[in-house]
Structure 1
Amino acid sequence: MTRLVVVGASLAGLRAVEAARKAGHEGPITLVGDEAHVPYDRPPLSKAYLDEGEPESTTFREESHLTGELGVELVLGRGATGLDTEAREVLVGDDRVPYDALVVATGARARTLPQGGDLAGVHALRTLDDAVAVRRELDRGVKVVVVGAGFIGSEVASGARKRGLDVTVVEALETPLVRACGEAPGHWIAGLHEKHGTRLLCGNGVAALHGSGRVEAVELADGTVLPADLVVAGIGAIPNTEWLEGSGVELDNGVVCDATLASSAPGVYAAGDVASWINPVFDRRQRLEHWTSAAEQGATAARNALDPTNPTAYRTVPYFWSDWYDVRIQFVGTPQADEVVLVDGDPEAGERWVALYRAGDRLVGALTVNGQTEVMKYRGKILKGAAWDDALAFAEQRQQARSVTTAG
């Protein structure tokens, strides 16, 4: 009977386990995770979890559900340390966990500030334990410096400002979010900080952190010194692949996979933040750190691992969202484009707008701010390979329809 092992008690790992049972797999399943927690939801950790009041639980499934209804053997609080692809065994310390089919869902870890040392009050935010620590600091009413004006850092800044705290965001790039959204949209979105009383300093890096035991100040490259009781780094993530080195699994900014999420090693598939796969929608290799793709990839990887003779390619139009202050930012597609056009709204005047991304004669992306009724329509068009002119015509129709509704 096929033994399925999933390494990574993450969203992708959970969906892999659930999909295996839903597909009728009756063999043994083992879920290995380096954290002591059962799988939990990460996006709320930098959003609502930081708000005042008692936070809601982020746990997806209780342990009893996993071990009872799903019949999963849990190995938690002990991360995988190696992989023997010849013997088909996952190494967990001195133990060996045999597998016939393996899904790697070890995700990514937050980059940390090299200047942090052992100073208290310096954190990244990736895990539940990280969120608990940052929340405890915010409860003290601290002065906050966030390093990195990306989505995680900006969500932390937003949560701190909701509490009325003094917040400064430091960004090394001249324009935030250039890689995620492009030059102009990054500038437009960054303007939300100023509108809500958050100080944003761009084109400047961290030179040093000062303090005696606990952080007291952040010194920037230009000599500016910012008082700080709490420093949170939101400077990106690194895929957790070190345990796979020397295993024969090809690694390059994650686990290198084909369109079906199969790695270079027989029986080994990957899913979630750690998977670098060929997305047939764009015919391009991608590694996504998005909730939606992690969930979908986990399920696809498990089904393909259990039925390798009938694999399904994982094709998607990437989607992510981020909540800043009272604004929801949503993006579908890819920001790698020849042109970005604002088709609705005015970022300078209001907090609702839509921008579209063109590559050649195709629509490849859409960015909305408070455009929840729009974004998924564009996702569908991108999936169908919509022409750019058709996308512009559709945008004009949507804008006119909204104007009529507003006027009425």
Structure 2
Amino acid sequence: MNSADLGRRVGVPSTALFTDQYELTMVQAALKAGTADRRSVFEAFTRRLPEGRRYGVVAGTGRVLDAVENFHFDDEMLAFLRDQHVVDAATADWLADYRFSGDIWGYPEGEVYFPGSPLLRVEGSFAECVLLETVILSILNHDSAIAAAASRMSAAAGGRRLIEMGARRTHELSAVAASRAAYVGGFHTTSDLAAGFRYNIPTVGTSAHAFTLLHDSERDAFQAQVESLGRGTTLLVDTYDVTEAVRTAVEIAGPELGAVRIDSGDLLLVAHRVRQQLDELGATETKIVVTSDLDEYAIASLAAAPVDSYGVGTQLVTGSGHPTCSMVYKLVARAETGDPDAPLVPVAKKSLGAKSSRGGRKWAARRPDAYGVAEAEVIGTGGVPADLADRQLQVELVRGGEVVAREPLEAARDRHIAARAGLPMSAMQLSRGEPVLPTEYV
């Protein structure tokens, strides 16, 4: 397994300041109170799915592992914290030696989840665990939102290929993370070269309308592109007149023309007309790619169209209306003393309304029905029932501060396809509804 399979991590900067100030001030106060070393268990979960969504998708786990591994404070960071009076000298000295030394368990990347699912369990001293809260939530909330949108689009596409092309619609670093999450959720390629370089995601791209407009005629533009990229290229045919463009494209590239791209108009109608024209011109193997502000609903509406690939940008990288998953990171158990062998006691927030949480270190399993289809997400804090022992969802990710579960991104993508296939068929419906599985606490 080479470095490209796992993602290029060389030169990754420290993630220690990707955090909120109160994480550090809590550590300072806990150090002074003598409670910083108490063994603690934190869990990341969401109390509810975004409105109308039937399942969530775990994405960003691999990036979380990178973030934990690179969470350390260098001299320049420590000087900043001192100069800004964020922490006192004793806390800065403690941070100088910080390396996470605890354990992390969680749902493997690509798995689906439901309200209450303990997606990530972080165990260690209070101080070392609480520092990771913001960076973990930042990654999981963003990537899981993108992956959930990608999964819905993948289901709507019904096996047709999907191209992620949203880099110009979001922050440049978010674009790379979004490409990765979209790939986990079922997309096939990306237009973003940084994502291709870092995560070995297949990249695609040919030309924009500007290339056609640059030339004296559409014919000249097509000729230049074919001479440069070969007959298998994709020609953009909606700059001027689509019918004339398709005719010109086949005249220049011949029936070996790889594909034509349509980026405007009534995509359903235009796709049918273009397919008929291509077939009449003998280009029966030439594919049709459609773009133009697609989301899962637009993709579903094109199910009857002779379309081979969809390119999706804005709606994908913004989570198709739900750019976050509202995940939280809560202390659920802690020791009463700093003794490493002190027993853990459950703790939980008991505020009014929907913000209360359940205490205790949790396990999770997915119970199938008689046909092998998932029927419930089962969560508990005691012993695991015998019939669920081999169906537990959490896997070991970090042991004693060392990452033990790196895997190729392709593995997460394959896992998601399998996990989605194990859900009831109603999970694929795009209409608004409740989570497709109930969450049961035992």
TM-score norm. by structure 2 comes to 0.24
Instruction: Looking at secondary structure, tell me which structure has more strand per residue.
Output: 1
Instruction: Looking at secondary structure, tell me which structure has more helix per residue.
Output: 2
CA radius of gyration, larger in = 2
TM-score norm. by structure 1 comes to 0.25
If asked which structure has higher relative contact order (CA below 8 Å, sep 6+), I would say 2
